[in-house]
Amino acid sequence: MGATTAERAAMRRALELAAQVPARGPNPRVGCVLLDADDSTISEGFHRGAGTPHAEVEALRRASESRGPGAARGATAVVTLEPCNHHGRTGPCVDALLGAGVARVVHAQQDPNPAASGGAARLRAAGVDVLGSVLADEARALNATWSRALELGRPVVTWKVASTLDGRAAAADGTSRWITGRAARHGVHRLRAGVDAVVVGTGTVLADDPDLTVRHAPLTGQQPERVVVGLRDLPASSRLARAAAAGEAVMQLRTHDPHEVLDLLWYREHRHVLLEGGPALAAAFWRAGLVDDVVAYVAPVLLGNGASAVADLGIGTIADAARLDLLDVAVLPRDPEDPTDTPTVRLTLRPRKER
Amino acid sequence: MGATTAERAAMRRALELAAQVPARGPNPRVGCVLLDADDSTISEGFHRGAGTPHAEVEALRRASESRGPGAARGATAVVTLEPCNHHGRTGPCVDALLGAGVARVVHAQQDPNPAASGGAARLRAAGVDVLGSVLADEARALNATWSRALELGRPVVTWKVASTLDGRAAAADGTSRWITGRAARHGVHRLRAGVDAVVVGTGTVLADDPDLTVRHAPLTGQQPERVVVGLRDLPASSRLARAAAAGEAVMQLRTHDPHEVLDLLWYREHRHVLLEGGPALAAAFWRAGLVDDVVAYVAPVLLGNGASAVADLGIGTIADAARLDLLDVAVLPRDPEDPTDTPTVRLTLRPRKER
């Protein structure tokens, strides 16, 4: 039997529930609605992040709370992701659904996580009626970055680059504050708020002494981990060294190998990292094929010299140029109250797959 | 007396007439409508470019043709620019209007050309009723570049620059075809079609062997003059050397001084030139404060090395960066039929006046 109208409506509601949580961390966003035989909602649940109950478990718990034990017996569980079949920080949702006596499971996206998949098969084997792929595209979009990370087996890397019209990231004397406008800088904070870690090279710490925290954007949950890549020691007086000394989430990775960086961050359950620079680190990630998305802030400014936004990529001739798909272009206007501010053009790009 | 409804309507018609001609060459675009005492149109005229009759003279000629000699006696001349008072290739329009017995002149923009101004005063002194500044903003917009050139006392310089996202104008081996997409290249042809001269350095001729003609855009009138700046000889086999040998409008200026270049082009009656590169010539114009408008084509491409779009500007620190106002941003889409084509982002900018 295909999905009923009530089940599709419940799936839309489950997607809404899931979307309440920011798309960060090691776990997908999942929502669940339990329907009784009359198609009325028994309870709802959604996953609030690593270490908290999965959506199905939360919905079952609420069903018991409101209608007493056995409330979910014979019910239909509508859930945005195939119920998991593994022991992580919590037990398998499949066991919880079977234990509660759920008769039918309607799910959207199939679980792309090889460690957690097989839930549908186990449910079917236990006699539960299972229907998958209901509003699956919507569910995949909800966890697009998480899904990409699982497919890649490493964190998704978004490279943020800020430069002048002539591709300079800093002036001849190393100064770079500020090339882009205030709206662009706040945009970077919004990017940070959506990732698990922010990555820079030691050169950036030495040149700019950045803080790398989210300050000018809403943040749900913890600050992203701040990661410095490179062999040089951080000055004890630098903002990041002082933050580390104060026990904040700052980590130095003493390597130049982007693969090693991403392996370590994956191990730390990071699924999406923001690469903020500088030119040498960006080039190392690019050459390793480890840049997945690019957000480029281009200011209407000329410098004529100074550090380039990206270092040598090993490209010798135009036919070998690295080409990107242009997903979006936006003008971030200047603050009309501030004559020193500048507008910035934001380009959202993705490296072409052919390269 | 202010402008009557009929005179304002006639002025709109005169603006329409003027706009039929492309905005190129040493003369402004001007339209003229002659009204009789009943506010009905006697005749119309507009200026078709250097060496042809001025709009007023053309309108007077047509009046005689259609209604016989004396047709303009007592008439009102509605003209988009203050009638000229100087002997150029043609005699002063003031003399023609007085000779025809025009009783009233309603004009829009005052003549900003010091050599030609004073027309209104001479008409008044001869007893003609003169009203100025009717729809003057519209008339100024019609001849914006011409007016700017007169105010500057030199040709207006539009700098066209095409680069990668990281500000490169060519790859390490000098190849640059093609960084930007087809729509951008055709856009450059439209820019060329709107100017009197196209200017490049000898380095660009040696590297790219450009043709610099208008081929992929409609062209009214002659091809813009092609001007090469620099001391090096052009290879006899280059497209421009062959065009010059064939008698086409190609000129080499053996100097590195942008002021000298513009003086020479002004003398040749050029009012608007397109500076097409390369980096050294662009930097020389920029440093001399001789860039008035910028059209930047930025392709979603990375090179990581190769020639920068603009050479050293003598800027040492970010506070001294050259800042521009961003007038427009457009995405020129790629040809969907051609997988090798690329979209391009076009930025239209103007250097900030404070610098």
Q: What's the pLDDT at B22? A: 85
Chain A residues inside the 8 Å CB shell of B347: 165, 298, 300, 345
Q: What domains lie within chain A, and their CATH numbers?
A: 5-149 (3.40.140.10), 154-351 (3.40.430.10)
Collapse the DSSP code of B83 into the 3-class scheme (helix H, G, I; strand E, B; otherwise coil) and give the result. coil
Q: A277 and A161 in contact (C-beta within 8 Å)?
A: yes
Residue given tokens 């030691």 in the structure block: A202
| Measured distance CA(A275)–CA(B303) in Å, rounded | 19
Tokens of A355: 């390269």
By the 8 A CB rule, do A294 and A351 touch?
yes
Distance CA(B134)–CA(B6), nearest Å, equals 12
Element containing residue B42 per DSSP (H, E) = strand B41-46
Q: Which residues of A321-343 are buried (b: 16+ CB within 10 A; e: fewer)?
A: bbbbebeebeebebeeeeeebbb
Q: Mind listing the pLDDT tens digit of every residue in chain B (355 residues)?
A: 799 999 999 999 999 999 998 888 889 999 999 999 999 999 999 999 888 899 999 999 999 999 999 999 999 999 999 999 887 777 789 999 999 999 999 999 998 887 777 899 999 999 999 999 999 999 999 999 999 999 999 999 999 999 999 999 999 999 998 999 999 999 999 999 999 999 999 999 999 999 999 999 999 889 999 999 999 999 999 999 999 999 999 999 999 999 999 999 999 999 999 999 899 999 999 999 999 999 999 999 999 999 999 999 999 999 999 999 999 999 999 999 998 899 999 999 999 976 4
Q: Which residues of B are part of the catalytic machinery?
A: 56
Q: Which residues share a beta bridge with B225?
A: B197
A145 labeled part of a ligand binding site:
no
Q: Which chain B residue shows the shortest CA-CA distance from A305?
A: B312
CA–CA separation, B218 and B92 (whole Å): 33
Q: Which amino acid is at B9?
A: A
Block means of pLDDT (10 residues each) for chain A, 355 residues, are 94 96 90 96 93 93 94 96 84 91 96 83 95 95 93 96 96 93 97 97 94 94 95 96 94 96 96 94 97 98 96 95 96 92 97 74
Nearest to A162 by CA among A151, A170, A150: A170
Exposure pattern of B292-309 as b/e (b: 16+ CB <10 Å)? bbbbbbbbbbbbbbbbbb
Among candidates B51, B100, B60, which has minimal Cα distance to B79?
Answer: B60
Is residue A131 packed enough to be buried (19+ CB in 10 Å), middle (13-18) or exposed (0-12)? middle
What pLDDT was estimated at residue B89? 72
What does the radius of gyration of chain A's CA atoms come to, in whole angstroms?
Answer: 24
Judged by CB atoms closer than 8 Å, whether chains meet at A317 and B178 is answered as no
Structure token digits, residue B207: 């590297």
B280 close to A (CB below 8 A): no
Q: Least CB-CB distance to B349: which of A300, A310, A318?
A: A300
ipTM score: 0.89
The angle at the Cα of A182, spanning A179 to A185, to the nearest 5 degrees, equals: 75
Contacts of A163 in chain B (CB under 8 A): 165-167
Q: How many CA atoms lie within 13 A of A38 on its CB side?
A: 3
Per-residue pLDDT at A354: 61
Structure token digits, residue A200? 């820079």
**Residue A112 confidence (pLDDT):** 83
Judged by DSSP in three states, B200 sits in strand
Contact indicator for B326, A345 with CB cutoff of 8 Å: yes
**Helix ranges, chain B (H):** 5-18, 55-67, 93-100, 119-125, 136-142, 144-152, 182-193, 202-208, 239-245, 258-267, 279-287
What's the sign of the alpha-carbon dihedral A19, A21, A22, A25? negative
Q: Report the residue of chain B nearest A279, measured CA to CA.
A: B304
Would you call B233 helix, strand, or coil by DSSP? coil
